[in-house]
Amino acid sequence: MTPSHTNLTAVPSHRVTDEIASVVLEQDGQTIHLRLDPLVPEPALARFDPAYLPSQAQVVASGGRAAAWFVQLASLEAVLRHFKRGGLMARLVRERYLWLGLERTRSFAEFDLLRIMWQAGLPVPRPLGAAVWRGRLTYRAALLTQRIQQARPLGQCAEPKVWFEAGRVIAQMHQFDVWHADLNVFNLLVDAQDKVWIIDLDRGRRKALTAMQRAENLSRLLRSVKKVAPELESTCWHLFKQGYQAVFNDA
């Protein structure tokens, strides 16, 4: 179900750091929270609805279980993602999560983590907006990020320099104490200039990482390689490890 745009009552908005706007709206008995980058054009709430015609939404064909669309924000191309459950829980409730506070919602938490990483110069897409539709005990969530142009998954790349660079990128992420909850060959994108980008930080976190946690992240990525592109394990995985270790050797 896409969000409606009727019966909205705006609560005065305020500004947080770096010109990010926090907006609160009331709609049909539920509260809507928005966190917006200045690049998001008005009407802001409509930008989280794939049915909003000016967005020219196109379904993203590959990726995780969450519903995702490429959308147009004025002159800017973005990715809109609605958070969806997977596994057995999805049979009971597909898109609602238990309310534990605004900062712990899936979209706001990912927006904030991406913002910190983006400001630090790590190769993540610029976070553009987060939305939360809160009911009494549960909420729905959506996220807008800038689209990486001409991107392909790492699992579709066999260039040695790309895998070496991918290792460096993940090492830099770990040096920044970020743990990726779903590190796989679809969540590492390679653009036309062979730059490697990290996407989908849902449930990721930033806290001091142990060597074991870093190793678990890499093991998860290797399992993805074996499942999606097993031929790359023998030809490219050692290059990834070389790039990863090079960052820590230089530290």
Question: Which residue numbers are catalytic?
Answer: 182
Assigned token pair, 97: 């999560």
Q: Coil, helix or strand for 82? A: strand
Q: Is 72 helix (H, G, I), strand (E, B) or coil?
A: strand
Q: Rounded distance, CA 4 to CA 218, Å?
A: 42
- Neighbouring residues of 236: CB distance < 8 A, sequence distance ≥ 6: 158, 160, 163, 225
The answer to whether the CB of 68 falls within 8 A of the CB of 59 is yes
Phi first, then psi: what are they for 82, rounded to 5°? -95, 130
Taking a C-beta distance cutoff of 8 angstroms, is the pair 166, 187 a contact?
Answer: no
Dump the DSSP string for 10-48. Answer: EEEEEE-GGG-EEEEEEETTEEEEEEE-TTSPSSTGGGG
32 close to 25: Cβ distance less than 8 angstroms: yes
